[in-house]
Amino acid sequence: MSSTWSLSKLLANLHDDIEHRLAKVRESFGHSTTKGDASEHVWLEMLQTYLPKRYHAKKAHVVDSNGLFSQQIDVVIFDRQYSPFIFDYEGQIVVPAESVYAVFEAKQTINAGEVTYAQDKAASVRKLYRTSLPIPHAGGTYPPRPVPRIISGLLTFESDWSPALGTSLVEALEAGKGDRRLDYGCVAAHGTFSCDMTECYTITPQGRPATRFLLELIARLQSSATVPMIDIRSYAKWLAT
């Protein structure tokens, strides 16, 4: 008895599962904080399942070797192949700034307030200092890698705007410049948005947004290559003597 596989159906079903779970969260929970926590869990579980194992996705704070901390970030995608945790206790995670590839806020709906909130969160990470050491190899050392730009964005189920991904969204996104710029995001019920290096935004409606977001994110992570070699001794200066 033969069976027929369909890649298009597999990819569509991945999106449908994420959208359905986000919709159930919105329908099932009455408390806004509970809804928010459950929505974060849906996005985190997708990323933890489908990202290559060199990347981890967790809710976390980010710290630099100067002792400055970011705000708490809903979704931090960070390196675990070459970078240590700074702190991991009872579900509270702190990761070094050098290990961070991307940060996202996960909300029920997108609106001007949530875009501003995500922009502020992104800036709290990007302002942190990152070390980069020379990289030893068999024939000597490579020079320190320039630190890559940290990807940032916003993940939601719905939109408060009508149209959902129209001019109001673009205007809110374009208000974030420099460290506050959001690069990429997903509104699971409606589509995705992305920003190129000229800071021009592209809106992609429908097209199985959750799956499209995941595949494009992986492509962007690939282009970031590996995080810089962390100067872990620079963190040791904070040990009490």
Kindly provide the b/e burial profile for residues 43-81, where b requires at least 16 CB atoms within 10 angstroms of the residue's own CB: bbebbeeebeeebbbbbbbbbbbeeeebeebbbbbbbee
Instruction: Count how many domains the chain has.
Output: 1
The one-character DSSP state at 139 is T
Q: Is 15 contained in some domain? A: no
Residue 51 has pLDDT above 90, yes or no: yes
Integer Cα distance of 99 and 84 in angstroms:
8
Residue 215 parent element (H or E): helix 209-223
Q: What is the pLDDT of residue 75?
A: 97
Q: Are 183 and 151 in contact (CB under 8 A)?
A: yes
pLDDT of residue 214: 96
Q: Which residues, 6+ apart, have CB-to-CB distance to 222 below 8 Å?
A: none
**What pLDDT does residue 241 have?**
55
> pTM (2 decimals)?
0.92
Structural domain contains residue 52: yes
Give Cα 228 distance to the centre of its chain: 18
With respect to residue 19, please indicate whether it lies within any of the assigned structural domains: no
Question: Annotated catalytic sites, by residue?
Answer: 74, 105, 107
Q: Residue 3 falls within a domain, yes or no? A: no
Chain segment 160-178, per-residue pLDDT in tens = 999 999 999 999 999 999 9
Establish if 1 belongs to a structural domain.
Answer: no
Among 172, 174, 207, residue whose Cα is nearest residue 189: 207
When pLDDT is cut at 50, 70 and 90, the band that residue 2 belongs to is low
Given pLDDT bands bounded at 50, 70 and 90, which one contains residue 35? confident
**How confident is the model at residue 130, as a pLDDT?**
96
Least confident of 26-35, 53-62, 87-96, 199-208: 26-35
Pairing of strands 151-159, 100-110: parallel
What does the block give as tokens for 197?
Answer: 């290096």
Angle between helices 32-50 and 7-28 (to 10 degrees): 160
Query: Which domain covers residue 42, as residue numbers?
Result: 29-236
Q: How far is CA 3 from CA 6, 12, 186, in A?
A: 10, 18, 33
Top pLDDT among 212 and 241 is at: 212
The stretch 42-61 carries a mean pLDDT of 95
Higher pLDDT, 209 or 206: 209
pLDDT band at residue 213 using 50, 70 and 90 as cut-offs: very high
- Does residue 219 fall inside a structural domain? yes
> What confidence score (pLDDT) does residue 224 get?
85
* Mean of all residue pLDDT scores within the chain: 92
Cite the beta strand spans of 113-166 per DSSP E: 135-137, 140-142, 151-159
* pLDDT over 70, % of the chain: 98
- Residue 20 covered by a domain: no
Residue 2 domain-assigned (yes or no): no
Range 40-64 average pLDDT? 95
